[in-house]
């Protein structure tokens, strides 16, 4: 990793520490490790009530009647509310307003909220919810995306039918032919974000008739925009403050308990806290879209791609959530980071009675990458070259054109990323004196090396960074500089959500670098400042980072005005708490210049605009920035017992600028682990549109024994369009780790493995 060079030489002042490019300790780190961090589930108010949700056990049913009488009859119960009690619009949604706050006459997925209860004890509330009598007419669920759209006699789950969005991408010659053709159908199971902090928050009724909501979420203002109409309140009477977030990964982008808690609080005029149980959490948030993808790649005899054709079906479940954008991502990024002259990709997002699917780290790019990378390996085999070589021959680069017609106008080091992971030294071969925990089967004493075959596989992926397709994607920052206790202190206030990725730390780093002050305080994120947009799409360092930088620049400019007035020089800088001049050196302490004045500015930051894609051809400059990562996976497979041990993951990623190198490494490790989970174990098991494994005992995520050591190369090829040249980090490593691991298992077993997660029975057969 390159080192950041800072300030002038020699320094005029004692430089501040913990600026951009450094890795200061995060303020929440020690608290979290010690179990002292206050999560949203720890909220407490005197006199509060507990809210509980009654959910339907049926994936699809008509509601004939709901009787809350038995719940209200229980002592300690303050409210039992149904759709009739929703004060305003009984509907919300991120892209389509299609999901009821509480079900009216139909439920469309198992776990849909039907009624809510508040009581003076959580157990009382649970019993009251269980006492509510709902009479259902159970219907046969629609549980397949393709059937939902194209099947005959399939019930329409929503008024407009079962198609959420169709996205075609037509580029070049649709009838192109090629000498070498490979095809395959690939499937991705439903992955869960598996955050550890369940959905939770507390709503407090306010004297002005409004409500204050403290909640773990990903995007305060989009919550506010959806909650206010449901409560029939103006937006400024729904004030939201971020509570401690225990992970998100996309699962908190949609509403969960927000409106329910507010309804109960306004109804009872008491604070109401809601905390989902782990099981309930599986029904309380959207998941990653399961996908079925049919691919055909055509190439010349040298392996240069001639065309890619694909049809991809993504199961959006019962409500749209962000399915439309996920389908667009899968389709627009559907050929991967490769130059392809002729493309025909069609993506469909469907309504079914499966659990709703929406945002999850990688957002459509994950599913497509598993398919196109599997195809690239198949093509390499057909041509007779190695998997790295086929990728190098087709690698996208700066100046390439995407199948949407969009020019790739900043660094796209696909070739270099591949070469870097290829050239990493291989992990040592197994020896007989190996710790069995490092063998397939882990701590289970399953093998001591017999029947174990090693495999190596590669994957490289592409992800759009920031919101796409013309969305007005911005963030707002308020920065205040004043003297506190004789020292200049910067205060940064945004509505940007810290989900554990380190944004609070980064905002302080930016303020330190921009204002040359050591002390920075970060205000709690709330809706009293303008929107920061979502903590998703790998966008917060870029967009909120840009807003903080821009607000700092406005503050600095005002300080310079003061300094110019006083010292009559204009070659000014802020360094180490001093106002300095390039020509005259240190002019004064910043605190002197500020006096008792507070300099404060609020700025919005927008990245360059993106544009909608043509609905018939998929052409358009839909994306803002592309991120790339490549992985090499080395696996040991016990071919007799179907067990996989990922021995090592090597990753190379371009991050434009490592704003906080430790956080970058953390994102790459965490993203790679989440990709490993999808490759070999993580799946919400559905049967009859019902979730069969809603617990962390039955929904398996990787443990530290499943996660191998990583070698990581971080490239810093600046994007001139982005603040500090940075490129969003969070999602790309999730995308390419999955296909690399599956490719390595294929290399060891010679099996086709067209579905993820790969389980023991897929390796052993039946």
Partner 1 sequence: MRTFSYVRADDVDAALRAITDEPNAKFLGGGTNLVDLMREDIERPDTVVDITRLPLAEVEELPDGGVRIGALLRNSHLAAHPVIRSRYPMVAQAVLSGASGQLRNMATVGGNLMQRTRCLYFYDDAAACNKREPGSGCAAIGGFSRSHAVLGASASCAATHPSDLCVALAALDAIVELRSSRGTRRVPLVDFHRMPGDTPEIETVLADDELITAVELPPPPSGVSRYRKVRDRASYAFALVSVAAALDVQDGVVSSIRLALGGVGTKPWRAYQAERALLGAPATEESFRAAARAELADAVSLPHNEFKIRLAESTIVAVLRGMS
Residue ranges in contact with partner 1 by CB under 8 A: 57, 123, 437, 441-448, 450-451, 640-643, 645, 680-681, 685-688, 690, 692-693, 695, 697-698, 700, 702-703, 705-706, 759-761, 764-766
Minimum CB separation of residue 681 from partner 1 in Å reads 5
Query: Whole-number minimum distance, CB 34 to partner 1, in Å?
Result: 17
Q: Shortest distance, CB of residue 295 to partner 1, whole angstroms?
A: 27
Of 152 and 450, which has the nearer Cβ to partner 1? 450
Q: Do residues 165 and 344 lie in contact, with contact meaning Cβ atoms separated by under 8 Å?
A: no
626: exposed, middle or buried (Cβ count in 10 Å: 0-12, 13-18, 19+): buried
Q: In this complex, which beta carbon is closest to partner 1, that of residue 161 or of residue 709?
A: 709
What is the DSSP pairing of strand 578-581 with strand 585-589? antiparallel
Give least dist CB 749 to partner 1, A.
Answer: 14
Minimal distance, residue 137 CB to partner 1, in Å: 16
Q: How far is the CB of 61 from partner 1 (least distance, A)?
A: 12
Q: CA torsion, points 560, 565, 571, 573, in degrees to nearest 10? A: -30
Q: How far apart are CA 78 and CA 64, in angstroms?
A: 25
Tokens coding 164 = 């959420």
Residue spans of alpha helices (H) in 398-539: 414-423, 503-515
Contacts of 526 (CB under 8 A, 6+ apart): 220, 239, 240, 241, 242, 495
Best CA proximity match to 406, nearest among 546, 609, 607, 543 = 609
Give the shortest CB-636-to-partner 1 separation in angstroms: 12
- Number of Cβ within 10 Å of residue 34's Cβ equals 8
Alpha helices by DSSP H, 357-464: 365-383, 387-394, 414-423
What is the nearest approach in angstroms of partner 1 to the Cβ of residue 539?
32
Residues 6 or more apart whose Cβ sits within 8 Å of residue 687: none
In the complex, minimum distance from the CB of residue 291 to partner 1, in angstroms, rounded to a whole number: 20
Query: In this complex, which beta carbon is closest to partner 1, that of residue 537 or of residue 639?
Result: 639
User: In this complex, which beta carbon is closest to partner 1, that of residue 597 or of residue 692?
Assistant: 692
* β pairing state of 200-205 and 272-275: antiparallel
- The tokens describing 533, both together, are 């947009």
Task: Count Cα atoms within 13 angstroms, Cβ side, for 660.
Answer: 26
Neighbour order of strands in the sheet with 61-67: 106-107, 61-67, 133-138
DSSP sequence for 512-564: HHHH--SEEEEPPPBTTS-----S-TT-HHHHHHHHHHHHHHHHHHHHHHHHH
* Residues 493, 478 contacting (CB under 8 angstroms): yes
Distance CA 476, CA 492 (A): 11
Nearest distance from C-beta of residue 145 to partner 1, angstroms:
19
Q: Judged by CB, which is closer to partner 1: 514, or 636?
A: 636
State how far the Cα of 663 lies from the Cα of 713, in Å rounded to an integer.
14
Task: Give me the least distance between CB of 54 and partner 1, in Å please.
Answer: 13
| CB-nearer residue toward partner 1: 200 or 258 | 200
**How far apart are alpha carbons 515 and 218 in whole angstroms?**
28
Residue 469 or 648: which CB sits closer to partner 1?
A: 648
φ, ψ at 358 (rounded to 5°) = -160, -130
Least distance in Å: CB of 280 to partner 1? Answer: 12
Tokens for 598, please give them: 């507070």
For residues 398 and 698, which CB has a smaller minimum distance to partner 1 in the complex? 698
User: Of 503 and 756, which CB lies nearer to partner 1 in the complex structure?
Assistant: 756
What gap in Å lies between CA 548 and CA 544, rounded to an integer? 6
Cβ closer to partner 1: 424 or 754?
Answer: 754
Q: Which is nearer to partner 1, 448 or 584 (CB)?
A: 448
By beta-carbon proximity to partner 1, the closer residue of 62 and 564 is 62
How close are the terminal C-alpha atoms of the chain, in Å? 47
Q: In the complex, what is the shortest distance from the CB of residue 450 to partner 1, in angstroms, rounded to a whole number?
A: 6
For partner 1, the closer of residues 177 and 703 by Cβ is 703
């Amino acid at each position: 990793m390159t080192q950041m060079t800072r300030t002038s030489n020699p320094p005029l002042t004692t430089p501040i520490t913990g600026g951009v490019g450094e890795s200061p300790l995060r303020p929440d780190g020690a608290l979290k490790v010690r179990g002292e961090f206050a999560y949203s589930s720890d909220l407490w108010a005197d006199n509060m009530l507990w809210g509980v949700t009654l959910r339907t056990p049926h994936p699809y049913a008509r509601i004939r009647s709901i009787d809350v009488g038995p719940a209200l009859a229980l002592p300690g119960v303050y409210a039992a509310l149904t759709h009739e009690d929703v004060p305003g619009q009984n509907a919300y949604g991120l892209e389509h307003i299609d999901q009821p706050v509480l079900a009216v006459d139909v439920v469309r997925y198992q776990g849909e909220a039907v009624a809510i209860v508040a009581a003076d004890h959580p157990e009382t509330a649970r019993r009251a919810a269980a006492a509510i009598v709902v009479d259902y007419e159970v219907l046969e669920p629609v549980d397949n995306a393709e059937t939902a759209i194209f099947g005959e006699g399939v019930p329409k789950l929503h008024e407009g039918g079962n198609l959420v969005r169709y996205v075609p991408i037509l580029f070049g010659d649709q009838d192109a032919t090629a000498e070498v053709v490979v095809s395959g159908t690939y499937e991705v199971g439903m992955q869960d974000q598996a955050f550890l902090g369940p959905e939770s928050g507390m709503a407090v009724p306010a004297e002005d008739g409004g409500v204050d909501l403290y909640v773990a979420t990903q995007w305060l203002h989009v919550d506010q925009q959806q909650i206010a109409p449901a409560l029939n309140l103006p937006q400024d009477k729904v004030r939201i403050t971020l509570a401690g977030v225990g992970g998100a990964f996309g699962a908190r982008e949609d509403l969960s308990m927000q409106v329910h808690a507010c309804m109960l609080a306004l109804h009872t005029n008491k604070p109401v806290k809601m905390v989902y149980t782990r099981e309930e959490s599986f029904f309380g948030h959207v998941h990653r879209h399961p996908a079925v993808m049919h691919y055909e790649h055509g190439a010349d005899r040298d392996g240069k791609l001639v065309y890619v054709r694909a049809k991809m079906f993504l199961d959006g479940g019962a409500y749209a959530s962000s399915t439309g954008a996920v389908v667009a991502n899968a389709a627009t990024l559907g050929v991967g980071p490769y130059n392809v002259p002729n493309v025909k990709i069609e993506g469909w997002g469907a309504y079914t009675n499966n659990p709703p699917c929406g945002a999850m780290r990688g957002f459509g790019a994950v599913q497509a990458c598993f398919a196109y990378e599997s195809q690239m390996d198949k093509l390499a085999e057909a041509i007779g070259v190695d998997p790295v070589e086929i990728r190098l021959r087709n690698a996208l680069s700066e100046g390439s054109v995407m199948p949407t017609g969009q020019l790739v106008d900043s660094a796209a080091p696909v070739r270099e990323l591949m070469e870097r992971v290829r050239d990493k030294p291989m992990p040592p071969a197994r020896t007989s004196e190996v710790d069995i925990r490092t063998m397939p089967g882990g701590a289970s004493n399953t093998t001591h090396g017999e029947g174990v075959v090693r495999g190596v596989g590669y994957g490289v992926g592409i992800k759009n960074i920031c919101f796409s397709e013309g969305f007005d994607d911005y963030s707002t920052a308020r920065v205040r500089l004043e003297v506190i206790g004789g020292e200049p202190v910067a205060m940064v206030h945004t509505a940007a959500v810290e989900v554990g990725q380190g944004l609070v730390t980064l905002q302080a780093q930016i303020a330190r670098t921009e204002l040359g002050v050591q002390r920075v305080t970060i205000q709690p994120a709330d809706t009293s400042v303008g929107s920061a947009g979502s903590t998703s799409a790998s966008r917060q360092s870029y967009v909120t980072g840009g807003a903080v930088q821009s607000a700092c620049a406005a503050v600095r400019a005002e300080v310079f005005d003061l300094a110019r007035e006083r010292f009559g020089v204009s070659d000014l800088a802020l360094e180490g708490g001093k106002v300095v001049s390039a020509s005259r050196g240190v002019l004064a302490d910043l605190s002197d210049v500020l006096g008792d004045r507070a300099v404060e500015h609020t700025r919005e930051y927008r990245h360059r605009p993106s544009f909608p894609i043509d609905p018939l051809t998929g052409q358009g400059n839909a994306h803002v920035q592309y991120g790339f990562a490549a992985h090499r996976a080395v696996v040991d497979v016990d071919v007799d017992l179907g067990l996989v041990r990922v021995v090592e993951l090597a990753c190379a990623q371009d991050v434009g600028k490592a704003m906080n190198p430790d956080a970058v490494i953390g994102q790459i490790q965490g993203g790679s682990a989440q990709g490993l989970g999808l490759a070999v174990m993580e799946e919400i098991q559905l049967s009859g549109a019902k979730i069969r494994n809603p617990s962390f005992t039955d929904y398996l995520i990787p443990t530290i024994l499943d996660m191998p050591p990583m070698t990581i190369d971080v490239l810093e090829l600046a994007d001139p369009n982005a603040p500090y040249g940075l490129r969003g980090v969070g999602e790309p490593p999730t995308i390419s780790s999955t296909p690399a691991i599956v490719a390595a298992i294929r290399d060891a077993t010679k099996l086709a493995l067209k579905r993820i997660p790969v389980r023991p029975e897929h390796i052993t057969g039946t």
